[in-house]
């Protein structure tokens, strides 16, 4: 099949950041160095060899700035200081240095759609209508309904439940908060705000940081009419206003403002972009010649199990072909149009991928983890691995009661349910099941370092800020580092393979194979006359697959196999009819 050479696009735009993979750290739950039960920066520094050995190029540090932690640091009270519980600016400098010494880079999290209500800017802004900071946030007068009752300026729902507007008594106006009440949105129309953000960006780049992950960056430009959102969910009072603030009118202008600085420093950037399904719109942000950002996180594949109307805590269903269709769309589009993809299954907002995308029997969890690693990392794009994913950490136990959940998103939902449907035990039961499947808490349990008490995250007699998932005796880093067959080592093999065959796996094209198959995900990557097949059995059965029927049976070499690349596996991939073991994934160089 590879006889027709796949010519790469005329210009390939090679870049170090395309070749990189990223490891994400959520500081509260990474490693506690001083036995106060909370992860911290020195704890991260102590694990840098472990991270380097995984084979990643970049470490992304989630928000570690001073914060009241209403939304675990995504509510920043001071962009220039580090939360006391995590350490100091000097500790971050050590972390940067430790990364650099090991040939890795460090990304900071840039959260500038909103601040904490404890930020000085907001305190001043709310103090008076005449404050020079008034216009740094989005203030609007109330509306009044036909009965003369005060109402918010529009009907937008907050991402964390309820109205997106909060009334502020002292000045009699509402302020906008797309997230928690304690996370007021900045007003990017104000040039002083943009300047302040540019200063923050420079400050951390000057400290040696190598770039940023940008929080909900596509929300920074809002339709200044602040119109009501159409009624989408008939059961809801407040409606999604995303069409008026996701990728709003001035987004690209604002991104270019930041992009200019990033370019000066040759910095890395990845933007979080919820709600955007329009590939052309994303392309405007990431095309190589736009100088905005390198890549974005899109949400299609992680919203796959949500009910309609952004209702994540209601059951939704999906098929493998849905997932494949999302990947195909973005993979092909970016390749053809000079853009780039960020690849991820997990992050601090998503449940654990083995549970979400596979949900295998216990004994097959490592196999499923390896399959997911293979499929993700050999797509075209920069792979992101979230802490604990490299050892296959799972969702919280179904037995956990609500007292174990900590996340504002989940807890606000629960509060709302108890308020509005206090006697509906069925709805409560379903919600509880959905929390165990989708709550952000699933990602936020402490990293399981060993089989010691508390999983080695903190001292044996310390009560960690969030309980350790009891699976730590079975799933932990110490065991996996020792075991060459572990998921941890498998991840490093996949990342190595991606670099060894850089042309194919980083710069090659992507083609979906056997589109309608609900049990197999197969794709080829090709560059010039070289071509590789990535083939994954998404079931817990042995599975027969007709490679000849898809014209990918001309095996040159088995490059990687989740069941090991020993001679025996080569035998199984000769001839046209192949058998795959449960959750087996294999990477094959074709003739
Ligand atoms: C992003 C973050 C999430 C946070 C929200 C508000 O989605 O990833 O953790 O709660 O933005 O900052
Ligand atoms: Ca600590």
Identify which ligand lies nearest to the alpha carbon of 408.
1
Q: Which residues of the chain have pLDDT under 50?
A: 1-2
- Residue 282 near residue 275, CB atoms below 8 Å: no
Query: Distance (Å, rounded) from C-alpha 277 to C-alpha 298?
Result: 8
User: With DSSP H G I counted as helix, E B as strand and the rest as coil, what are the percentages for the chain, rounded to 5?
Assistant: 35, 20, 45
pLDDT in the model for residue 2: 44
pLDDT in the model for residue 155: 98
CATH number at 170 reads: 3.90.400.10
Name every residue whose Cβ is closer than 8 Å to that of residue 394 and which is 6 or more positions away in sequence.
352, 354, 355, 365, 469, 471, 475
Residue having the nearest C-alpha atom to atom 9 of ligand 1: 349
The pair of three-digit structure tokens given for residue 337, joined into one six-digit string: 């149009």
In a domain? residue 503: no
Residue having the nearest C-alpha atom to atom 4 of ligand 1: 74
Distances in Å between the Cα of 226 and the Cα atoms of 134, 174, 270, 278, 538 are 18, 13, 27, 22, 45
Q: In what order do the strands lie in the sheet with 58-61?
A: 295-297, 268-272, 211-214, 105-110, 58-61, 22-25, 382-386, 342-344
Q: 259: CA distance to ligand 2 center in Å?
A: 35
- Active-site residue, selected from the candidate residues 215, 355, 390, 409: 215
In a domain? residue 499: no
Distances in Å between the Cα of 420 and the Cα atoms of 238, 410, 416, 469, 559 are 14, 15, 6, 31, 56
Residue having the nearest C-alpha atom to atom 7 of ligand 1: 216
Chain CA centroid to CA 213, Å = 10
- Active-site residue, selected from the candidate residues 32, 210, 272, 303: 272
Are residues 128 and 271 both part of a single domain?
Answer: no
Q: 70: CA distance to ligand 2 center in Å?
A: 18
Are residues 412 and 522 both part of a single domain?
Answer: no
Taking the CA of residue 274 as reference, the ligand 1 atom at the shortest distance is 7
Are residues 385 and 529 both part of a single domain?
Answer: no
- At residue 413's C-alpha, the angle toward residues 407 and 416, to 5°, is 135
Are residues 426 and 365 both part of a single domain?
Answer: no
In a domain? residue 159: yes
In a domain? residue 165: yes
pLDDT in the model for residue 235: 84
Q: 94: CA distance to ligand 2 center in Å?
A: 16
- At residue 83's C-alpha, the angle toward residues 77 and 87, to 5°, is 155
Eight-state DSSP code of residue 440: T
Taking the CA of residue 440 as reference, the ligand 1 atom at the shortest distance is 9
pLDDT in the model for residue 311: 85
Eight-state DSSP code of residue 372: H
Query: Distance (Å, rounded) from C-alpha 155 to C-alpha 172?
Result: 18
Are residues 144 and 209 both part of a single domain?
Answer: no
Taking the CA of residue 349 as reference, the ligand 1 atom at the shortest distance is 9
The pair of three-digit structure tokens given for residue 41, joined into one six-digit string: 């920066």
Residue 349 Cβ < 6 Å to ligand 1: yes
514 is catalytic: no
Are residues 261 and 357 both part of a single domain?
Answer: yes
Q: What is the C-alpha radius of gyration for the chain, rounded to an integer number of angstroms?
A: 24
Taking the CA of residue 71 as reference, the ligand 1 atom at the shortest distance is 10
Residue 71 Cβ < 6 Å to ligand 1: yes
pTM: 0.97
pLDDT in the model for residue 5: 67
In a domain? residue 517: yes
Long-range contacts, 232-236 (Cβ 8 Å, 24+): 232/309, 233/308, 233/309, 233/311, 236/157, 236/309
Identify which ligand lies nearest to the alpha carbon of 38.
2
Q: Torsions phi, psi of 19, nearest 5?
A: -85, -10
Q: Torsions phi, psi of 306, nearest 5?
A: -90, 150
Taking the CA of residue 179 as reference, the ligand 1 atom at the shortest distance is 6
Identify which ligand lies nearest to the alpha carbon of 299.
1
In a domain? residue 8: no
Are residues 408 and 395 both part of a single domain?
Answer: no
Query: Distance (Å, rounded) from C-alpha 286 to C-alpha 338?
Result: 8
- Residue 433 near residue 301, CB atoms below 8 Å: no
Residue 521 Cβ < 6 Å to ligand 1: no
Q: 40: CA distance to ligand 2 center in Å?
A: 5
In a domain? residue 12: no
Domain, as residue range, for 406? 401-438
Are residues 373 and 455 both part of a single domain?
Answer: yes
Residue 346 Cβ < 6 Å to ligand 1: no
Helix (H) or strand (E) holding 275: none
Residue whose structure tokens are 């099941």:
433
43 burial via Cβ count (<10 Å: 0-12, 13-18, 19+): buried
Residue 74 Cβ < 6 Å to ligand 1: yes
Identify which ligand lies nearest to the alpha carbon of 412.
1
Specify the number of domains making up the chain.
4
210 is catalytic: no
Are residues 314 and 299 both part of a single domain?
Answer: yes
CATH number at 539 reads: 2.60.40.1180
Q: 71: CA distance to ligand 1 center in Å?
A: 8
Q: Torsions phi, psi of 340, nearest 5?
A: -150, 150
Chain CA centroid to CA 170, Å = 38
> Which of 25, 27, 74, 440 to mutate for ligand 1's pocket (most ligand atoms within 8 Å of CB)?
74
In a domain? residue 183: no
Identify which ligand lies nearest to the alpha carbon of 27.
2
Q: 349: CA distance to ligand 1 center in Å?
A: 7
pLDDT in the model for residue 571: 81
pLDDT in the model for residue 461: 97
Query: Distance (Å, rounded) from C-alpha 138 to C-alpha 120?
Result: 16
Residue 215 Cβ < 6 Å to ligand 1: yes
Are residues 275 and 342 both part of a single domain?
Answer: yes
Q: Over the range 483-511, which residues count as b (16 or more CB within 10 Å of their CB) and which as e?
A: eeebbbbbbbbbbebbeebeebbbbbbbb
3-state secondary structure (DSSP) of residue 342: strand
Beta strand pairing call for 382-386 and 22-25: parallel
Eight-state DSSP code of residue 227: P
Q: Domain end: 412, 438, 464, which one? A: 438
Name every residue whose Cβ is closer than 8 Å to that of residue 195 and which is 6 or more positions away in sequence.
none
3-state secondary structure (DSSP) of residue 502: helix
Q: Torsions phi, psi of 418, nearest 5?
A: -65, -30
Residue 112 Cβ < 6 Å to ligand 1: no
Are residues 373 and 236 both part of a single domain?
Answer: yes
Taking the CA of residue 111 as reference, the ligand 1 atom at the shortest distance is 12
Are residues 387 and 417 both part of a single domain?
Answer: no
CATH number at 298 reads: 3.20.20.80
Chain CA centroid to CA 484, Å = 28
Query: Distance (Å, rounded) from C-alpha 365 to C-alpha 356?
Result: 12
> Which of 63, 71, 438 to mutate for ligand 1's pocket (most ligand atoms within 8 Å of CB)?
71
């Amino acid at each position: 099949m590879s006889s027709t050479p796949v010519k790469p696009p005329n210009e390939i735009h090679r870049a170090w950041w395309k070749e990189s993979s990223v490891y994400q750290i959520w500081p509260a739950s990474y490693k506690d160095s001083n036995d106060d039960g909370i992860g911290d920066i020195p704890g991260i520094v102590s694990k840098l060899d472990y991270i380097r050995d995984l084979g990643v190029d970049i470490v992304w540090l989630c928000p570690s700035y001073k914060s009241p932690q209403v939304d675990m640091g995504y509510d920043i009270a001071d962009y220039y200081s580090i939360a006391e519980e995590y350490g100091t600016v000097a500790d971050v400098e050590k972390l940067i240095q430790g990364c650099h010494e090991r040939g890795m880079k460090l990304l900071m999290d840039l959260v500038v759609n909103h601040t904490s209500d404890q930020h000085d800017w907001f305190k001043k802004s709310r103090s008076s209508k005449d404050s020079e900071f008034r216009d740094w946030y989005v203030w609007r007068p109330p509306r009044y309904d036909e009965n003369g009752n005060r109402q918010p300026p529009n009907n937008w729902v907050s991402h964390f439940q309820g109205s997106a507007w909060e009334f502020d008594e002292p000045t009699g106006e509402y302020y906008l908060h797309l997230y928690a009440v304690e996370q007021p949105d900045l007003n990017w129309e104000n040039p002083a705000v943009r300047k302040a953000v540019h200063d923050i960006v420079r400050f951390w780049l000057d400290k040696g940081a190598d770039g940023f992950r940008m929080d909900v960056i596509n929300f920074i430009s809002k339709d200044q009419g602040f119109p009501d959102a159409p009624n989408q969910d008939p059961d809801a009072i407040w409606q999604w206003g995303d069409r008026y603030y996701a990728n709003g009118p001035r987004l690209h202008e604002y991104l270019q403002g930041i992009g200019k600085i990033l370019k000066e420093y040759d910095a890395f950037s990845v933007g979080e972009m919820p709600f955007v399904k329009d590939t052309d719109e994303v392309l405007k942000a990431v095309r190589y010649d736009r100088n905005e950002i390198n890549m974005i996180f899109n949400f299609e594949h992680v919203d796959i199990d949500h009910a309609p109307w952004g209702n994540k805590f209601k059951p939704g269903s999906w098929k493998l072909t849905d997932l494949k269709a999302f990947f195909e769309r973005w993979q092909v589009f970016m390749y053809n149009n000079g853009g780039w993809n960020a690849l991820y299954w997990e992050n601090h907002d998503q449940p654990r991928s083995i549970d979400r995308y596979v949900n295998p029997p216990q004994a097959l969890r490592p196999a499923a983890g390896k399959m997911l690693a293979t499929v993700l990392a050999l797509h075209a794009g920069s792979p992101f691995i979230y802490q604990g994913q490299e050892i296959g950490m799972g969702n919280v136990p179904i037995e956990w009661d609500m007292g174990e959940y900590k996340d504002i998103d989940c807890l606000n939902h629960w509060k709302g349910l108890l308020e509005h449907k206090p006697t509906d035990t069925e709805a409560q039961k379903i919600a509880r099941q959905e929390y165990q499947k989708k709550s952000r808490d699933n990602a936020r349990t402490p990293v399981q370092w060993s089989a010691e008490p508390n999983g080695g995250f903190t001292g044996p007699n310390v009560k960690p800020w969030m309980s350790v998932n009891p699976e730590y005796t079975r799933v932990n880093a110490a065991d996996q580092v020792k075991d060459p067959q572990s998921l941890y080592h498998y991840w490093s093999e996949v990342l190595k393979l991606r670099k060894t065959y850089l042309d194919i796996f980083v710069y090659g094209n992507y083609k979906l194979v056997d589109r309608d198959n609900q049990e197999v995900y197969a794709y080829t990557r090709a560059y010039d006359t070289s071509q590789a097949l990535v083939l994954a059995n998404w079931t817990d059965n042995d599975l027969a697959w007709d490679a000849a029927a898809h014209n990918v049976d001309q095996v040159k070499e088995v490059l990687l196999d989740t069941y090991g690349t020993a001679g025996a596996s080569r035998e199984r991939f000769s001839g046209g009819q192949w058998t795959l073991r449960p959750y087996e994934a294999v990477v094959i160089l074709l003739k």
